[in-house]
Each structure stands twice: as structure tokens, then as C-alpha cells.
Amino acid sequence: MDPHAHVFLSLSDRRWHVVHPALASAGLPLTSGALDQPWAVDVHSRWPAGASTGPRNWRGRLLIDQKPDRIRLGPLLGILTLRDAQGRLRGNAGHLAALCQTARRLGGIAFVFTPDDVDRTALTVIGRLPHNGRWIDALLPLPHVVYNRIPYRQWEQRPAVQAFLAWLAERAHLFNRGFFDKWQLFRWLRAARPLRPLLPDTARATPATLRAFLARYPSVFLKPCGGKAGEGVLRVTKTPVGYEAIGQSKKGMRQSAAFPRIDDLETWCWRWIGHAPYLVQQGIELAKVRGQPFDLRALVQKDGRGQWQLTGIGARVAPAGGITTHVPQGGRIGNPQVLLAQALSSDAAARLQDQLGSGALAVAHTLERHMPNLAECSMDFAVDRHGKLWFFEANAKPMTFDEPDIQRRALNTRVRYAQWAAGFRTGGKRG
């Protein structure tokens, strides 16, 4: 049997239809979703008149997995998010729509949903599908695979959301269950001996550890354990007359101050930090191109065979006077090969790219041992002025990569992984 079938949702009567010559004659029940639920669809051997085109039908492709007693259709990939106080779905709408469109092309139905869209008794979901520039609702079985894209840490930590995630994980393949805690992440990685040379000296931030690190290093960074995109980061540098502190808040706003005494520095830093948990980390003198430091962003994902792969490497260059390279904080996109070639010798640049790829995969394997069903993460690396590679952090909810080729591969790989995780045999193909 051909492993692909066409599917469409008739928007006039909200009925699902599957077009496949052999399905109608197979005489087996059709199932889909996490629990192999019966799925009421109309089966056709060829396109019904007027159904294949037009704005009144949502069209896509499904994969077929024939069993002795049933035929499975899928995969269904649910993209989980939440609504804000105004009832709006949160997340990058363009990225969500692109993932849904990629599934339509490669085989599967990807849709956006929230916990409130799930009927836990009937095990059905009201999913949202992109169609002609808008979103439409569709009734679907509980998805085979769920991609957690809840955008904010504090939202994800709500008791009701945690209870829903636990309920969902018992029924569907939920990958990337939650955000990383930066301190816990460093403890995991530090326990893996081969990774230790990549890690800067790092500790929980306290007045005692700040003083100890400033006695040891010319500069240190204070980073929120739950931060993102460089928000809330502080850099403290020793000067001939004391200390200089630069703090980075939202939207690239920076505050700086100078202190002759460490007691005054501590008071200012802890006023900035408040009650949030922070790390203190050894400052690294990064390699520079035209006086601007840069770092490297690696995206690793599980592919259509369930194996880790390096999807791509990007680069970000810090703005003048900036303390991080994040684009929301004023950084700019760079070409990693060009930057490395300009900062290092050609041989050293080639060796470092190989080391970065193997290091990123080693980090992913280590993190997976502590976070089952981790299937993707982005990582920040950097090179110091001597050509040594350093790991800075990992993100379990990777932001959209600005490099079009990396983003295209990332979308394809997410769908291929969903096909594999849902048990469809064509999931090993690369998109």
C-alpha cells in the first residue's frame, strides 16, 4: 500500500476526508492519535468533485501505517502553547504556521493547541490550522507527538499547567518538557568529565562567590538562572580604581556604574538581582573581529531515526559596548566560517568547527540522560583570543534561527522526528 494519502477538511461541514485508492477496499478501521483512537473520516478512492481545490477545503498529506487489525493515519503533531489574559495564542505565529505547513508537505498534520482545547474525557483536541492567511479550528484526536512551545517560564510553572503536562506525558510523546535551569544544567555537564574543559568556572551567585570570583578573574558575569536573550545579565570588571558594573535589561537598555569599594558594588548588584536566582561565571576574553566579540550558536535536533544531529551553526556579533551578542540586545548576525577565519588561522578555524560540532552533540547526549524526551536544543559557544572553545549555555526552547537554511532544516527535522516518534516508517527520510 502506498504509504501516503491525501487528506482534506471540508470547511463547509467540518468533515475529514481521506483520498487513497486502497483504503476504501481494505475494510479495516482507521485510527489516529496518541492512543490509536478510531477516527471518523470519509474515505474516497479519488478526489470528490470540487474537493481538491478552493478556499473551502484545508488540504494536506498523511502517512499510512497498516497493521493486521487497523490502519493508522498520521502523524498528528500538536504544538502546545498558552493564551494570554486577552485570550490570544502566544508564540511566534509565523514560526508556528511554518511548522504546520512543513508537516503538510512532508506528511502529517501539525496544529496549535492549548490545555483548554483538550477534552480529557473524549481524548479529542480543538486544533488550529493555518489556512489562507488565517487560522481555522479542527476537531482531532489527541496528537501522537506534542512539541512544547509554552513561551514563558513562569507560565509553564503554573500548577495547572504542570498538572496538564504530567497528564499529557502519560498519553502522548511529549518532547522538550520544560525550560532548562542554568545552574542545574551546569551541574549536569560538570559531572561529565569530557565536557569539563568546555565549561567556564561557574557557581551560584552569593556575596561570597562574587568576591571569590573577582579575586580570581579580571571580569565576571552574573546571569539569571531562568533568563533568556541576555536579559538581566551583569558584567563586573576590575579597574585600576575599583570596579565597573554594566547591566543589561530588556530591549537592549543598559545601566552602568563605577565603584571604588567592593561593598558598594555588592549593594548595587544585589539591588539589580533582587530575589531571582543568579549564577556567577568566569569572564572569558573572547576572540574579536574588528574589535567586536562574537559567539557561535549551534542547533542540535533528533532526526527521523531518533538520532542527534547538528542542524546548523550560526554566529552573533556583539554591538559596540554590548555585553552579550543576542540580537534583541543589539547584536547582529554573522557568518561563522568568515568570523573564525578572520579571528584564527585557517587550520585552527577548521579544527574548531569540528570541535564545536562534536561538543554540541556530546552536550545533547549528556542533557538527554537527565531530561528524557529531549529532542532539540540550541547552544551558545564562544572562542577566546587563544582559540579555545567554551560552552556558555543551552536553551530547551530554541528561538527561530535568522539563517534561512538553518531554519528550513530545523522545520524539516522536527517533522521527521515527529514521524519517527509516532511510529511511521517513512520518518527516516530527510526533508
CATH number at 327 reads 3.30.470.20
Whole-number pLDDT of residue 324: 61
pLDDT of 186 higher than 50: yes
Residue 51, phi then psi, degrees to nearest 5: -95, -20
Question: Is 62 inside any structural domain?
Answer: yes
- Is the residue at 223 inside a domain? yes
End-of-domain residue from the set 178, 211, 228? 178
Write out the H or E segment, with its range, that includes residue 245: strand 242-248
Q: Among 246-250, 319-323, 411-415, which stretch is predicted with the lowest mean pLDDT?
A: 319-323
Which residue is listed with cell 556579533?
317
Q: Indicate whether 245 and 317 sit together in one domain.
A: no
- With 90 as the cut, is the pLDDT of residue 165 above it? yes
Please name the residues in contact with 231: beta carbons below 8 A apart, sequence gap of 6 or more.
Answer: 224, 248, 249, 250, 328, 329
Q: Are residues 1 and 101 in the same domain?
A: yes
Look at residue 329 and tell me if it is in a domain.
yes
Same domain, 245 and 136: no
159 and 55 co-located in one domain: yes
Judged on CB neighbours under 10 Å (0-12, 13-18, 19+), 13 is: exposed
338 confidence band (pLDDT: 50, 70, 90): confident
DSSP, res 205: -
Q: Is residue 406 part of a domain?
A: no
pLDDT digits (tens, 9 = 90+) for 214-264: 999 999 999 988 766 667 889 999 999 999 998 877 655 678 889 999 999
Over the range 396-422, which residues count as b (16 or more CB within 10 Å of their CB) and which as e? bbbbebebeebbbbbbbbbbbbbbbbb
155 and 174 both lie in a single domain: yes
Overall number of domains in the chain: 3
Of residues 323, 336, 314, 313, the one with CA closest to residue 292: 323
Same-domain pairing of 137 and 236: no
pLDDT surpasses 90 at 276: no
Residue 400 has pLDDT above 70, yes or no: yes
State residue 430's pLDDT score. Answer: 43
Which of the four pLDDT bands, split at 50, 70 and 90, describes residue 98?
very high
Q: Examine residue 404 and state whether it is found in any structural domain, yes or no.
A: no
Helix (H) or strand (E) holding 406: helix 404-421
> Are 274 and 217 in a shared domain?
yes
Same domain, 2 and 124: yes
Q: Which residue has the higher pLDDT, 417 or 181?
A: 417
142 and 258 housed in the same domain: no
**How high is the pLDDT of residue 255?**
82
317 with 297, same domain: the answer is yes
Instruction: Please indicate, yes or no, if residue 346 is contained in any of the structural domains.
Output: yes
Q: Which amino acid belongs to residue 169?
A: A
The answer to whether 202 touches 217, Cβ cutoff 8 Å, is no
Average pLDDT, rounded, for the chain? 89
Whether residue 415 is contained in a domain is answered as no
Does a structural domain hold residue 98? Answer: yes
**Does residue 123 sit in the same domain as residue 7?**
yes
Domain that includes residue 304, residue range: 182-198+286-396
Asked whether the predicted pLDDT for residue 130 surpasses 90, the reply is: yes
Q: Which of 29-43, 324-338, 414-428 has the highest mean pLDDT?
A: 29-43
> Are residues 157 and 187 part of one domain?
no
Of the residues 282, 298, 314, the one at which a domain ends: 282
- Domain end, chosen from 223, 255, 282, is at 282
Q: How far apart are CA 253 and CA 247, in angstroms?
A: 8
Cis peptide upstream of residue 115 (ω within 30 degrees of 0): no
pLDDT at 328: 55
